[in-house]
Amino acid sequence: MNVAIIAGPHRKVSQSAKVANWISGRLEILGHTPWVLDLGNHKLPVWDDSFWDGGEYWDGIWKPIDSELKKAEALVFVTPEYSGMASPGLKNFILYCNSAALGHKPVLLTAVSAGRGGSYPISELRMSSYKNTKPCYIPEHIIVRDAENVLNGPESVGKEDAYIRARIDFALNILIAYGDALKSVRASGVTAKKEFSNGM
């Protein structure tokens, strides 16, 4: 299965990118085809409504990404926690998207915290980011806490590291099952009605 992984840090070197790459490696081991977009190293301009007009400038920025998103049958969003919030970079990315790219595809939400936080970005994304793009956030999510000390090598170094590795595999297997199930929903045609293209 093609899986797009979007990491939303603002830093060029980040724990969120590390987590995204870890998840990518696990998906490969599980027999899937991941694609990673690290927004810390592939920064998008702040979205504005001239994007809707298209043109060479916006096409150069967005078309290669949009092509990968449309191929994806499932996605993972990885956000650092900035002041208790999901990253502005990830939310800016979502503004670029439409339902053709994300609609009725399962998404595993993943938050990354240097300490013991991470729950607020999950709640924020579940509450406010799906209206027009229509991703299906699965019930399972991941919070990588104390991020500097986990997922750093091929073997776990302690109880917390072993736990988050096992939890990621558990969540990825659920994501893939949703990906298989939602293919038929999209193929049925019931999700596409022009006059209801945006959420209420």
User: Domain containing 74: what range?
Assistant: 2-196
pLDDT at 103: 96
**Residue range 162-183: mean pLDDT, rounded:** 98
| pTM passes above 0.85 | yes
Residue 176's SS3 state is helix
CA distance 179 to 7: 20
Give the tens place of pLDDT for each residue, 100-151. Answer: 999 999 999 999 999 999 999 999 999 999 999 999 999 999 999 999 999 9
Closest C-alpha among 170, 116, 97, 166 to residue 140: 170
Q: Token digits for 59?
A: 């096409």
- What distance in Å separates the CA atoms of residue 80 and residue 125, rounded to the nearest whole number? 12
The domain total for the chain is 1
CATH number of the domain where residue 98 is located: 3.40.50.360
**If pLDDT is split at 50, 70 and 90, which confidence band does 194 have?**
confident
Q: What is the pLDDT of residues 3-57, one digit of tens each?
A: 999 999 999 999 999 999 999 999 999 999 999 999 999 999 999 999 999 999 9
